[in-house]
């Protein structure tokens, strides 16, 4: 890179050697410097320009040292190249001092190089990191303010157009709904249809593809804003019925067509329904106002024994259970019958998943023990 007109004896002197090695080490340090990964593009441009400068520019820096008069440059074309790659501070310094300023001492030049390297290696990355931090804070504040603006709204409308994953129509801005729980977007009609045709009390996000199915739920205010009042009331009643059937200590009011129910504790014997205002006896599971429990149970035995149709029905159901053609639900004790298919069944009352072989819950802490005790084994193939 560098040719010597008359190789001076000062080539191996400490100051000349230090000047060259300082710049060479700076260039080598760039190749392994991990801080480069944090530099933004505009900051990295200055750093790369200084550390990857052309040989001619590298020689220009060396030429400004006290030994510059002993160096000879045969690569003048490269000297004109890449001048714009010098950092802003370096160009400002050169323009202020002037090329080959004889007043510049060796110590001043060494200090300048040291400060320049420190600026490029440490100051610029810190400034870039600070800039990114401020940008992230501004974005977070913007998102928070946007969330506050939409918090009072029942539905969050889309700001950008998108393709509905259900009907595949292109939905323009404001024509769709963004679900709060999962941020999936759908058109209003598809979400409305999903609510109307849903048979479960728990309404999940309808998004799914070949590899993923969303388990997030729709919020109550979103459902209420999408469907008519009668559909929303039907959905609420379905949710309450499911919650009632899945609760062990639940009791439904015995008044016909009354929707009242409660969750009782062992020491409570009566339930005053807030809907029909009737008093239910939790011991007898009936309404017998004005009659104590013993009198009511004694009176109950007589019509039950005389009702032949009810007796035959009861005998038939228990006979099916004894033969294995039917079973009691392990949760709500209703009698269930399996028509065909695999051993998985689901109670139509309490929605409990049941294994037909073990006659117990399909999932839970004891399901494997129940399966093993039946004597069944998995067969290969």
- Residue 6 has phi, psi (to 5 degrees) of -135, 110
Residues 6 or more apart in contact with residue 146 via CB below 8 angstroms: none
Q: Would you give the DSSP letter of residue 119?
A: I
Residue 342 annotated in active site: yes
Which DSSP helix (H) or strand (E) runs through 192? helix 188-196
Residues whose CB falls within 8 Å of the CB of residue 152, separated by 6 or more in sequence, listed in order: none
DSSP classification of residue 263: E
Give the whole-angstrom CA distance, residue 142 versus residue 125: 26
Q: At what angle do helices 124-151 and 41-51 cross, to 10 degrees?
A: 170
Torsions phi, psi of 327, nearest 5?
-155, 160
- Distance of alpha carbon 154 from alpha carbon 218, whole angstroms: 11
CB-neighbour burial class of residue 171 (10 A; exposed 0-12, middle 13-18, buried 19+): buried
Given 167, 262, 276, 342, the catalytic residue: 342
Residue 38 DSSP code: G
Residues annotated as part of the active site: 342
């Amino acid at each position: 890179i560098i040719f010597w007109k008359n190789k001076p004896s000062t080539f191996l002197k400490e100051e000349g050697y230090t000047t060259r090695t300082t710049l060479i080490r700076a260039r080598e340090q760039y190749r392994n410097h991990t801080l480069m990964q944090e530099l933004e593009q505009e900051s990295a441009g200055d750093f790369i320009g200084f550390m990857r400068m052309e040989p001619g520019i590298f020689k220009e820096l060396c030429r400004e040292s006290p030994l510059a008069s002993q160096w000879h440059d045969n690569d003048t074309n490269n000297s004109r190249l890449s001048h714009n790659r010098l950092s802003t501070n370096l160009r400002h310094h050169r323009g202020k001092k002037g090329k080959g300023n004889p007043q510049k001492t060796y110590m001043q030049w060494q200090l300048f190089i040291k400060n320049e390297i420190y600026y490029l290696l440490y100051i610029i990355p810190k400034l870039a990191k600070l800039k990114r931090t401020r940008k992230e804070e501004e974005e977070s504040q913007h998102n928070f303010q946007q969330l506050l603006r939409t918090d009072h709204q029942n539905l969050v409308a889309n700001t950008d157009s998108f393709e509905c994953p259900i009907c595949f129509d292109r939905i323009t801005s404001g024509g769709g709904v963004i679900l709060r729980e999962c941020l999936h977007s759908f058109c209003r009609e598809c979400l409305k249809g999903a609510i109307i045709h849903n048979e479960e009390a728990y309404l999940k996000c309808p998004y799914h593809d070949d590899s993923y199915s969303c388990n997030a739920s729709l919020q109550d205010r979103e459902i209420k804003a999408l469907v008519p009042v009668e559909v929303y009331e039907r959905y609420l009643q379905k949710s309450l019925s499911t919650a009632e059937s899945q609760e062990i200590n639940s009791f439904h009011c015995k008044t016909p067509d009354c929707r009242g129910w409660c969750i009782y504790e062992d020491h409570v014997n009566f339930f005053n329904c807030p809907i029909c205002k009737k008093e239910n006896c939790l011991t007898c599971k009936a309404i017998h106002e004005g009659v104590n429990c013993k009198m009511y149970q004694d009176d109950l035995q007589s019509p039950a024994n005389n009702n032949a149709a009810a007796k035959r029905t009861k005998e038939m159901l228990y006979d099916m259970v004894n033969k294995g053609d039917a079973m009691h639900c392990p949760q709500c004790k209703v009698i269930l019958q399996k028509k065909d298919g695999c051993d998985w069944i689901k109670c139509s009352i309490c929605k409990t998943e049941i294994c037909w072989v073990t006659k117990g819950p399909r999932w839970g802490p004891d399901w494997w023990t129940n399966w093993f005790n039946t004597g069944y084994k998995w067969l290969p193939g």
